[in-house]
Amino acid sequence: MPVEGATTTIHELQYSDAAKLIPLITTVFPKTSSIKILPFAPFNALIIIANPVTTQQIIDLVDQLDIPRGNRQIKLHTLQYASATTLAPLLSKIFADKIVAGKGEGKTATGSAVKIIAEPRLNALIIIADRLATDRVLQLIAKLDTVQGTSGETQLKLVPLENTSAKRMAVLLSKIFSDSVVAGKGEGKTAKASPVKIIEEERLNSLIIIAGRIEIEQILSLIKKLDVFQESGKIKSNFKLYHLKHAVAKDMAVLLKEVTGRITEVAR
């Protein structure tokens, strides 16, 4: 039966097998009375029957998927809490060899080991990578896809460090800014209800911060003070957190800074 208001388009593929792409494409665009997508083997093409707007959306997605794959696989991962359009560019910065300027879909240069595409219709990520890289991406997604703050202004920010180990900094900042810390392997994991989560990213020696706008500003301000190079000793930044029982941290910091020049006060 003809689809009312629809056009029929034959879209040829260069690299991917049209028949193998059908399951993924129809997950994003399920077959309905107004959408039909069929493989056409003679041309290694897709026959798309839909209205012009939907047809173009399907072609846009197919073009992002139709790349030289080698041993890379395609995986669709649905998110529970985080926004796909927010996570895709963040993950691309971490895992992609080169980033191509685009509209936030996480596009990477041809030949890049990892490509991550946001699929807002399902709030999902499409990951194109080899098995090992896919597992690494999924492990990081599991840490990032957490319950968002009730204020609705939860943000994600990637912060590269120059002079400090991301692992050490994540642990320290989690102790300072988290309501409660869950024992882990140094990723800075926090309790489910905590408004701040800080995760180390060893690939870039960076921190991934999940927090509200005000908390992020406070964290960035503290990182700027801690991530410094100590010229006198020619060593990278080193620090230790001390809890005071009786003295006021601000007053103590002023006094010790006059003596050493290397004290940072945190009033929390």
The pLDDT of 155-176, averaged and rounded, is: 90
Is 75 found in the same domain as 62? Answer: no
Which of 46, 66, 86 is where one domain is finished?
66
Q: What is the pTM of this model?
A: 0.69
Is 84 found in the same domain as 128? Answer: yes
**Pairwise CA distance, residues 181 & 204, whole Å:** 24
pLDDT above 80: residue 41: yes
The pLDDT of 197-219, averaged and rounded, is: 89
pLDDT tens for each residue of 212-249 = 888 889 999 999 988 887 554 444 555 565 555 555 55
What one-letter code names the amino acid at 104?
G
pLDDT tens for each residue of 43-93 = 999 999 999 999 999 999 999 999 888 888 999 999 999 999 999 999 998
Provide the CATH number for the domain around residue 87: 3.30.1370.120
**Domains: count for the chain:** 3
The pLDDT of 122-151, averaged and rounded, is: 88
pLDDT above 80: residue 111: no
Is 124 found in the same domain as 95? Answer: yes
CA dihedral 71, 27, 144, 182 (to 10 degrees): -100
Q: 91-103 burial by CB neighbour count: b if 16+ within 10 A, else e?
A: bbbbbbeeeeeee
Could you tell me if residue 253 is inside a domain? no
**pLDDT band at residue 5 using 50, 70 and 90 as cut-offs:** confident
- The helix (run of H) or strand (run of E) holding residue 10 is strand 7-12
Which of 49, 66, 83 is where one domain is finished?
66
pLDDT for 27: 94
Could you tell me if residue 245 is inside a domain? no
Give the rounded percent of residues in the chain with a pLDDT score beyond 70: 69
Could you tell me if residue 262 is inside a domain? no
pLDDT above 60: residue 113: yes
Is 162 found in the same domain as 231? Answer: yes
CB–CB of 78/124 below 8 Å?
Answer: yes
The most confident of the ranges 117-126, 144-153, 207-216 is 117-126
pLDDT for 6: 86
Give the rounded percent of residues in the chain with a pLDDT score beyond 90: 46
Could you tell me if residue 249 is inside a domain? no
Is 207 found in the same domain as 140? Answer: no
Could you tell me if residue 256 is inside a domain? no
Is 171 found in the same domain as 132? Answer: no
pLDDT above 80: residue 130: yes
Is 50 found in the same domain as 84? Answer: no
Could you tell me if residue 51 is inside a domain? yes
pLDDT for 95: 85
**Pairwise CA distance, residues 169 & 39, whole Å:** 51
Distances (CA, A) of 254 to 223, 258, 259, 265: 19, 6, 9, 8
Is 77 found in the same domain as 134? Answer: yes
Could you tell me if residue 169 is inside a domain? yes
Is 85 found in the same domain as 60? Answer: no
Please count the residues of the chain.
268
The whole domain housing 1 covers 1-66
pLDDT for 156: 87
**Pairwise CA distance, residues 268 & 263, whole Å:** 16
pLDDT for 112: 52
Could you tell me if residue 210 is inside a domain? yes
Handedness of CA 137, 140, 141, 142 (dihedral sign): positive
Which of 111, 145, 179 is where one domain is finished?
145
